[in-house]
Amino acid sequence: MSIPIVDPARYEQQLEAKRERIGQQFERFAAPELEVFPSPPSHYRQRCEFRVWHEGDDLFYAMFEVDPDDPKQKRVIRLDDYPVASRRINELMPRLREALLGSDVLRRRLFQVEFLTTLSGEALVTLIYHRPLDAAWEEEARRLQQRLDILIIGRSRKQRLVLERDHVWERLEVEGRTLHYQQVENSFTQPNAEISRDMLAWARDATRGSQDRDLVELYCGNGNFTVALAENFRRVLATEISRTSVASAQQNLAANDIGNAVVGRMSAEEFSAALKGEKGGRRVTEMALGEYDFSTVLVDPPRAGLDEDSCRQLSEYPRIVYISCNPDTLERNLEALSRTHRLARFALFDQFPWTHHCECGVLLERIPD
């Protein structure tokens, strides 16, 4: 990997380069004007993980960078701070390191630290070890948790010690409304909270006007979009394969008093088969698919994008909202989807400044016969 070099004075320049690249890549789809959502130029990641490097009596946070002179070799890069990470993470990094240096119990065979923070400053720190964790570790860790005002989880092989709780609560202000999200340790959440807020506002705006019809959402994760979009529709049916994410999504629906959305544990492929009547069983029966009138599908797939069958299924909906973390697979999928739908809106979300990665959002509307 290459460690991002943060230079706020150059932020507009790097964002413009992404704008030009995405505009050129999708020009042949007659895309509308690109809506660009900039990130804060620094301190934008609410979660980060670092290796812990031990040298004699010293230890420090580290990442690894491929040696350009020998791609098979990786160089250890010491990090005393990390401008990519949230201000809360940067505030905690030296304080945690100092505490670890002063405790043989906490530092011994510690090899990784993971931070999960929120915009309000809540912080969960996971300490990962190459040794079993005992009562002495727990006693020291509880003192550290109180001293730093954080939540701590200890991990080692076949061990997971949660000292208080395994999640934080993020609060995002979106269009004048506060949305509450449980974010669980070691499960996927949007790392850039400010951009996540922009994505939710954009998706809400793109899906207005369907209060009398329903939304189906694939790859819903912890219900990030489900929570934000529910009031735009009569009902929402969301699906997700991860058991942890489904449980978190259900918590988030309850925390936001949303009563018109249901989350089912099912893969996108299984759901497609259920819609065709090719898959039955209790879970499918409980979904009561015949009671829905879907006007819109929202899909937020992994980097691999959608397969041909999934694209074919999506093409049957009047309106498609596609959130993509990989423009290359989005481009490939649009080759298929643009046969039946036109691009009505196109957005670039700079989720990961100072890297080549781009997050995109497209609204596709069915072409009249």
Q: What pLDDT, in 10s, does the model give residues 211-264?
A: 899 999 988 999 999 999 999 999 999 999 889 899 999 999 999 999 999 998
Place of tokens 């409980």: 286
How does pLDDT run across 1-17, given as a tens digit for each residue? 568 889 999 999 999 99
Q: pLDDT band at 171, cuts 50/70/90?
A: very high
Residue 325 a catalytic site member: yes
Per-residue pLDDT at 287 exceeds 80: no
Cα 320 to Cα 216: distance, rounded to the nearest angstrom: 10
Over range 21-45, report the average pLDDT.
Answer: 96
| C-beta of residue 144 within 8 angstroms of C-beta of residue 164 | no
CA atoms within 13 A on the CB side of 100: 25
The active-site residue out of 48, 325, 358, 360 is 325
**Strand, coil or helix: 79:** strand
pLDDT reading at 122 higher than 70: yes
What residue ranges of the chain are covered by domains with CATH 2.40.50.1070?
Answer: 47-168
Residue 272 reports pLDDT greater than 80: no
As a whole number, the mean pLDDT across the chain is 93
Confidence band of 277 (pLDDT split at 50, 70, 90): low
Q: Is 224 annotated for ligand binding? A: yes
The reply, when asked if residue 219 is annotated as ligand binding, is yes
Place of tokens 């201000």: 87
CATH 3.40.50.150 range(s) for the chain read: 8-41+192-366
DSSP run (H or E) holding 362: strand 359-366
Packing angle between helix 135-148 and helix 87-101, nearest 10 degrees?
140
With 0-12 CB in 10 A as exposed, 13-18 as middle and 19+ as buried, what is 311?
Answer: buried
Look at residue 127 and tell me whether its pLDDT is greater than 90: yes
The predicted model gives 181-207 an average pLDDT of 95
Residue 189 has pLDDT above 90, yes or no: no
Arithmetic mean of pLDDT, 206-214? 91
Q: Ramachandran region of residue 15, left (φ > 0), alpha (ψ -120 to 50) or beta?
A: alpha
Give the fold, CATH level 3, of 8-41+192-366: Rossmann fold (3.40.50)
Which residue bears the tokens 């076949």?
A: 158
Per-residue pLDDT, 8:
94
CATH class name, domain 47-168? mainly beta
Place of tokens 């080759």: 335
**Residue of 151, 172, 176, 180 lying closest to 249 (CA atoms):** 180
Question: What is the Cα–Cα distance from 3 to 306, expressed in whole angstroms?
Answer: 29
Full-prediction pTM beyond 0.95?
A: no
Q: Do residues 346 and 30 make contact, with C-beta atoms less than 8 angstroms apart?
A: no
pLDDT band at 109 (very low <50, low <70, confident <90, very high): very high
On whether 300 is known to bind a ligand per the annotation, the reply is yes
Q: Averaged over 15-27, what is the pLDDT?
A: 96
Residue 69 has pLDDT above 90, yes or no: no
Confidence of residue 115 (pLDDT cuts 50, 70, 90): very high
- Catalytic position from the list 311, 358, 359, 360: 359
